[in-house]
Structure 1
């Protein structure tokens, strides 16, 4: 398929970029991503490289992850062409039901679908409340829900800051055992279970992450001695950011 050829070319390019940056990628649990059949990957979201890191795990398992991504990315001439060519799914913030149906069909047909179910990047670097759509998708498609956590990529590029492009930045990726809905378990209950598992993976990942001498670092959560905002403060920053975006859209509509 042409979209798989495009995907393979992009993955090769990403490997070159990762090598040029000298990223020290520590991947554990990759065996939990199935090599055959459909699956939904639910990942945390800390930076703009998360798509590439989750896609990297897929490539290591011989899979192409089809992501749900904001429709705005598809509006750019270059990124939009690439996203469509790789089979990713645009999500409209107002009318997202159609994207969920399309992604559910992909998963049911044997594809791996990737979702950042926090919706937006977490400024605290901890897991925010999750939208129930990802769990509903796995239940409807009858496929496993695979939790995945990345940490370290946000040091290079994330919301509100460019970050640090120095070489040999450590990046940790942890893939958890697939979650399967229990008999009678609904999307809400499965979402709570997913959130607990992502929390556990974040805890494990940061505990093992190289951080000697980085007390007060912006890229570390406050509870680990960093200066990142706490979850409640980050929620206020998120609300302020959404308000600014809405104001810009209103001004653009009036101009």
Structure 2
């Protein structure tokens, strides 16, 4: 797989990290990537994925970079206080979030600004690693849908599978790359929100948009796993 061409203006640090890590990442595990045609080649959009491993952020970023897009995350503010990590987070344009504070609103506004600039914003709507016993998605929080509805940008659902074989959730922090694993990332068409745009953004509208998103993510995960997800009809979507 050739080195990706990033289509956007990105900070030099981001470009240097991609150049340095790309060959290593390609040799670390096998890749089954599908749906790249659904990733917008230009303009702002939200990429929303399930969350099954601490490696998911890196995996999603690698997939998006392979499509020529430089992902930006709404990241926990604590990461920006860690020596070395802070420089990387700020140098690559990541957005700090202080949960449960006025600064969380500032992070949301920063995400809107990034979309308007044409950036790719990555969100894992569950808000944490899934606690479902079979690693299916939990109900989503409404942040990703809120950004998409506020800006009118595409909301792309993505299912990831295989990262749990390298680093299983809640079972330590030591990866197990051997034997070499296959990591699957499947993207789908943008979630249809047309009927929800241009109307008051009530809690009901946000929950409906989020339900559609989580259903679309689950469909992609079903494809990646080759399995049918359990019935989610009794799930209640979260608020964010």
> TM-score interval w.r.t. the shorter chain?
0.7 to 0.9
* Cα distance between partner residues in 2 of 1:48 and 1:66: 17
Please tell me whether the aligned partners of residues 131 and 138 of structure 2 are also in contact (alpha carbons under 8 angstroms).
no
Structure with greater helix percent: 1
Q: Within 5 Å, give how 1:145-160 maps onto structure 2.
A: 145-157=155-167, 158-160=169-171
| Cα RMSD, aligned residues only | 2.3
- 2:14 pairs with 1:7: yes
Q: What is the DSSP-based 3-state SS (H/G/I as helix, E as strand, rest coil) of the residue aligned with 2:12? A: helix
C-alpha distance in 2, partners of 1:145/1:85?
A: 25
**Residue deviations 1:40-71 (CA, integer Å, cap 9, x gap):** 11111111221111111221121101111111
Unaligned runs of 5+ in 2: 1-7, 198-204, 233-240
Structure 2 CA distance for aligned equivalents of residues 222 and 178 of structure 1: 20
1:19 is matched with 26
Partners of 1:175 and 1:49 lie apart in 2 by 18
Higher-Rg member (1/2): 1
Query: Residue 4 of structure 2 corresponds to which residue in structure 1?
Result: none
Instruction: Tell me by how many angstroms 1:159 deviates.
Output: 3.1
Show the counterpart of 2:5. none
Give the match for residue 166 of structure 1: 178
2:112 is the counterpart of 1:101 = no
Deviation at 1:207, TM superposition (A): 0.9
Q: For 1:193 and 1:141, how far apart are their aligned partners in 2?
A: 18
Matches within 5 A, 1:173-252: 173-184=185-196, 186-207=205-226
- Report the number of matched residues: 211
TM-score (norm 2): 0.81
In 2: Cα distance, 1:129 partner to 1:99 partner: 22
Cα drift, residue 16 of structure 1: 3.0
